[in-house]
Structure formats: C-alpha cells, structure tokens
Amino acid sequence: MNTLDNTENPENGKPYSEAELRQTLLEYQAILDNASVGIVFTRDRKILRCNDRFSELFGWPKDHLVGMPTIIVYPSAEAFDEMGRIAIPVLSRGERLDTEVLLKRRDGSTFWGRLRGKAIDPADVHNGTIFILEDITEHRMAQERLLYMAHYDALTGLPNRTLLQDRIKQALSHAQRDQSQVVVMFIDLDYFKHVNDSLGHQVGDRLLQTVAIRLQKCLREGDSLARLGGDEFVLSLPVQNGSDDAALVAKKVLDTLDQAFIADGHELHMSASIGISLYPNDGTDAESLMRAADTAMYDAKEKGRNNYQFFTPALNTTAQRHLTVANRLRQALAHDEFALYYQPQVDMESGTILSAEALLRCLQPGDKAPISFGAFITIAEKTGLILPIGDWVLRQACLQLKQWRDLGYADLRIAVNLSPRQFHQPHLLATIEQILGETGLPANALDLEITESVLLQRSEDNLDTLQQLNDMGLQLSIDDFGTGYSSLAYLQRFPVHALKIDQTFVRGINQNLNDTALVTAIIAMAQSLHLEVLAEGVETEQQASFLMSHGCRAAQGFYYGEAVPAKTFTRLLRRQTAHMPGVQDSNVRRK
C-alpha cells in the first residue's frame, strides 16, 4: 500500500500532524535531490516535478522544465509520438514500463536513456506517472562495439566469418527462389607469412588493409567480401553464368593483386591462390560451400600459386587424406612417436662409413613397420608441421652423432634433410647454432641436404642463407640432383659442397642410355666445379663399379646398407668389415 494512502502515522497510529507531513515531504525531496538517477513526475505528458539529476541530464534548469510538455526531451515529434504509442497502453494498464530511448539535451545533442515508468497511483492511472531515467549511452556504445566486433574484422573493417555465413545464407535463399547460382571464392595470399616474418607485423597489417580495399573494388552490389583472419579472404557473389562469371572475377582479383603494393615504404609484390565453389553444384549450405572453396584453394596452392581452381569432388578425397595425415603427424609430435633411422654414406673404394643420413620414420602401434616420412612430407610442409618436426630431427640427429663420436668414431658426420619451408624459416640459423652449442659438435660435422627446387625459388634470399650457413662452417649438399633444372652457371652462384645424384638415374645405369649419360655428365660437372659427388640408391655391384670407374667416390644405397635404427647403426660401425662388401678391414677411424 502507498504510505500516503493512509493518513495515519504507522509509528503511533495517530493521524499525521502537519509537521509530520512536512517532515515526510522534506525527506522525500532529499531522496529525490540526492538520487543518482533522473526522476520526473508527469501528467498528461507534461512535467509536474523533477529532481536535480533529471534537469542535469538534459541541461535545462529545473524551473524551466516544470510545466513543459515532455516533447522537450525528445529529438523529434516522431520520437515523441512513438514513445506515446509504446508507453500509454502499458501505463494505463497500471503496468511497469521499461524501455531504452534516445533523448535530446538542451544543446540539441542526444543520449540513450533507460526509462522506467509507473503510474503514481495504480488505482488511478490518470493521476500521473513517475519516471526514472538513467544515461546508458556508454553501456549502449559498449554493446554496439561488442556487436560490431562479433561481426566485423577489426583490422580491415570487413565482415568476419559469422557475418559472412549469414550473408551467404541470404544469397543462397535468393538464389533458391530465382533458380540462380552463388559463387564462393576462397582467396589466400601467397607467401604472406614471409612478409610478416621479414618486415614485421605492422607492414603485414598495412598490406592486408590495402588488399581489403583493392578486393572491395572488384565487388558489385550484392557481393560480399569477408576476412576470415590471417591472409584469408572470402568473396561470395550471386551469378547468372556460374563458372564463367566466377573465372572473370577470379582473374580480376589476381590482376588487382598483381600490381605492386607500397606498405610503410616497402614495395611488395603479392599474388594469391583462389579456390572456387558453386551453389548448387558443390554444396547447398554456407559451410559446405566454404569447405569446398577452401579445398579448391589448396589445389591452387599445389598447382604453383597465383592461380584459381574450381572445386571437384576428387579433391575431397585428397583433402580427407591431408586431414588424416596432419592429425597423425600432430599426434606423433605430441606423443614422441617419431624415430630416426640412419643410412650409411660410404667411401666406395674403402667401404668406410663417412656419414649417416638421418631419415625420419613415424612409429606404428604393435609390430607394424615404421612408416617413411617421405609419404608425409608434402602435408608436413603445407601445414607448417615440418618446422617443429624438422627441429626435432636436427636436434636428435646431432645428439646421436655426438654419442657416436664419443664412442670413438671421431670423423663420422651426419646428413640431415632440410625441406623448402625449413630452409626459408627465419630462425634456421639460430636453431642450428643452438643445437651445435648444446651438443658441442663442430659445424662441419653436419651436412644439410637441400633439393634443387629450394634453390630455384627466391634465389637472392637463398644465396644469403646459404652464404651464412657456409660461413658457419656447415656442409651443404644438393639432394636429388638432376631432377630440377640447375644449370652449371646457376650452381656456381651457390656455396654448396656436394651433389647427390638422384637414385632414378643411378637405377638407369647400363639400362637406359639417357640416365647413363646423365650420371657421367653430373660426375664430370661436379669435378669441374670442385664439388664432391655422392650417388644415391646404389643397389648393385655393377652400378657401384660404373660409378667408381667414372670418378664417383661416395655412395649410399641398399648395396651398402639400408636405413636402420641407431642401435643397429652402432653395430654396423663396430662390425663394418662383416657388412661392407669388398672391404677387408674395419675402416672406421677411431680416436
């Protein structure tokens, strides 16, 4: 019950005296004037009374407000009418109004208020209303910011994945009605990570912002562009002529990226790999279309980057395998399920084991034979898993060599394969330095094997890296030599120490004229360049004799020994004589 309904003072049961009523009114006024919320009494949409906070919120003096129609606090007559439509029915039923409304201050500026209202006397709603008002502008702004952040990418201002999915859904429901098509295009910048790593994140961010602006210029009305994070952008466009329209837009995107970028004073050249999927052929919902476009994008990367590819169902099988292998590799890393096998590299004349090539194996449960890493290398490269795996291999191989050297095989060396991504990583030198420091091995005990294809990409950067590795004293070999396109002149530019003749040519010795000629030419070329040469995959005595007669001194292959676990390799070192064909004595040099 309302306190003032009862004219009796509840403290003594007697009617209120005039002094008591005055005291009570003063108390109420004190509450009103000290309240941190605006309080106003209105009747027939006119202000009867208000507190200090209310006048402060609007910047009007209290006596100016009293008697004024409440329209004075609304930004427009429409807003005033709208509030009437919402509030009057609620209040006249004696219910509580609770709403958020945009209000106007004396100086014309606006703010968001939370307005709660109730009839002063619910038994007589015409008696007037009391409203309580709070300024919630900051709260609203925070809420709007959160809403924005939930739907937009902070760096580029483009929609993010969530909003993109909504937009694709909308585009699909239109296309379903009009029997038209929708293209989803996954755009991934090539070698963007390299920009970030070499020039810093600030330059990377500028570049992404410029890319976003350029891509937006390729859009028409109704198209959507989003950034999914990193260097991944997605375009969705309603089209009439399916793949023809998609190809046109994809070419436009590649062209726009092809022009040089200037980011923080650096001139950069970018390209992208684009994967395309089409509704309804490749999927009927946003997720499946994005997945298909993503899969096609990987295909574009594999086909040499700077191109676009359409999704085909056959790609799915490949993508599935990639996923399984990537998971298997992650698991192997986490659970220590890798092992190194070692294959001898020998001096053909004497049979001396000169070096051990470390070859990675993935262990299998039970008695199953370990799997060669060769089957996984492309996926390890693509996912970046090669970097932690490669570090593990380097460290493990060096630790093993240290053990062998400590056993007395003082001149033994170790060869480790470096994949393109490992070779191009910025921390390569620091990692190698650290591992050599930890194991106390001299740099010339380590032989890094890189393929010709590594040299063929980005040759100036390579030259720098190779020079630094060479300066450190490491040995560098070109693996699978003959399968790339290195010319003599090209090779002369790089500080490498040895060539490894690819096993396919060795296999062709005396079987295939071309291979035989090629092997002879490679040996001669290596000699003229003062490079060492090692033949890979030597399986027969005939191959060995041919190679030796043409001046090849070192070899590796099943004829000399397969890759074996470290313990077996130790036995091999100890009992070389028994295992080495054509060797009379142990030739391993011991301290």
Other Cβ atoms less than 10 A from the Cβ of 4: the count is: 12
Closest to ligand C2E by CB, 186 or 505: 505
Tell which one of 236, 557, 566, 580 touches ligand C2E (CB under 6 A).
Answer: 557
Tell which one of 153, 190, 391, 479 touches ligand C2E (CB under 6 A).
Answer: 479
Residue type, 51: N
Which two tokens mark 65? Answer: 């407000």
Tell me if 273 contacts ligand C2E by CB under 6 A.
no
What φ, ψ does residue 552 adopt, rounded to 5°? Answer: -85, 130
Which two tokens mark 75? Answer: 């930004």
Tell me if 563 contacts ligand C2E by CB under 6 A.
yes
For the stretch 178-214, what's the b/e string if a residue is b when 16 or more beta carbons lie within 10 angstroms of its beta carbon?
A: eebbbbbbbbbbbbbbebbeebeeebbebbbbbbbeb
Tell me the β-bridge partners of 113.
Answer: 101, 135
Choose one: 29-37, 124-132, 286-294, 533-541; the region binding ligand C2E (CB under 6 A).
533-541
Q: How far is the CB of 340 from ligand C2E (least distance, A)?
A: 7
Cβ–Cβ under 8 Å, residues 518 and 551: no
Task: Calculate the CA dihedral of residues 260, 261, 265, 266 and round it to 10 degrees.
Answer: -70
Q: How far is the CB of 361 from ligand C2E (least distance, A)?
A: 7
Tell me if 501 contacts ligand C2E by CB under 6 A.
no
Cβ–Cβ under 8 Å, residues 491 and 514: no
Tell me if 482 contacts ligand C2E by CB under 6 A.
no
Choose one: 73-81, 166-174, 371-379, 573-581; the region binding ligand C2E (CB under 6 A).
371-379
Q: How far is the CB of 498 from ligand C2E (least distance, A)?
A: 13
Choose one: 271-279, 319-327, 370-378, 434-442; the region binding ligand C2E (CB under 6 A).
370-378
Closest to ligand C2E by CB, 128 or 508: 508
Closest to ligand C2E by CB, 306 or 372: 372
Burial class (CB in 10 A: 0-12, 13-18, 19+), 217: exposed
Q: How far is the CB of 367 from ligand C2E (least distance, A)?
A: 19
Tell me if 360 contacts ligand C2E by CB under 6 A.
yes
Q: How far is the CB of 174 from ligand C2E (least distance, A)?
A: 49
What φ, ψ does residue 356 adopt, rounded to 5°? Answer: -120, 130
Closest to ligand C2E by CB, 101 or 332: 332
Tell which one of 192, 373, 409, 505 touches ligand C2E (CB under 6 A).
Answer: 373
Tell me if 558 contacts ligand C2E by CB under 6 A.
yes
Tell which one of 87, 537, 576, 588 touches ligand C2E (CB under 6 A).
Answer: 537
Closest to ligand C2E by CB, 104 or 421: 421
Distance from C-alpha of 186 to C-alpha of 308, rounded to nearest angstrom:
9
Closest to ligand C2E by CB, 223 or 357: 357
- Tell me whether strands 46-50 and 38-43 are parallel, antiparallel or unpaired: antiparallel
For the residues of 363-426, what is the DSSP string, one character each?
Answer: --STTPPPEEGGGTHHHHHHHSTHHHHHHHHHHHHHHHHHHHHHHT-TT-EEEEE--HHHHH-T
Closest to ligand C2E by CB, 252 or 395: 395
395-454 binders of ligand C2E (CB under 6 A): 417-419, 449
Query: Collapsing DSSP states into helix, strand and coil, what is residue 456?
Result: helix
Q: How far apart are the first and last CA of the chain?
A: 105
Applying CB under 6 A, the residues found at the interface with ligand C2E are 343, 358-360, 372-374, 377, 390, 393, 417-419, 449, 479-480, 503, 537-539, 556-558, 563
